[in-house]
Amino acid sequence: MAEESAATEQVVTGTYQGREVTLTDKTGDAPREELQEILDALIAEGRFGIAGMSNSGSATIQIGAPEGGHIQIGEELYRLIVTGYEAYVDRF
C-alpha cells in the first residue's frame, strides 16, 4: 500500500470589521493568489462574524452555526466551510 503524504496547510488572512479573519486550505493544493481572492470576496460579502440562523420551519435559532458550500478552484471542486471568523477549504 502506498503511503499518503501529509498536505501542508496554507493560511491567508484579512480583516473584517477590525478583526483578523483567515482562510485555511487544508489540502495545501490551491494557488495562494486564488485563496486570497476567495477570502477577499467572503469579506466583501460580509460572510464572517457571529450570526443567528434558523432552519426552515424551525422555531429555534443556532448562533454561530457553520455555513457550508462548495467552490471550484481551477479544475478541482472543494468544500468551503465558514464559521465565525475562519473559513476552511477541504476536499469533498
> Which pLDDT belongs to residue 10?
96
Three-state secondary-structure class, residue 14: strand
Q: Mean pLDDT, consecutive 10-residue segments, the chain of 92 residues?
A: 64 96 95 96 91 57 70 92 94 85
Closest-CA residue to 5 (of 29, 24, 33, 23): 29
Report domain extents, the chain.
10-91
Q: Where are the beta strands (DSSP E) in the chain?
A: 10-16, 19-25, 52-54, 61-63, 67-73, 76-83, 86-91
Give the Cα separation of 10 and 35 in Å (integer).
9
What is the predicted pLDDT for the residue at 45?
Answer: 93
Give the pLDDT of residue 15. 97
Contact between 68 and 81 under an 8 Å Cβ cutoff? The reply is yes
The pTM (predicted TM-score) of the whole model is: 0.78
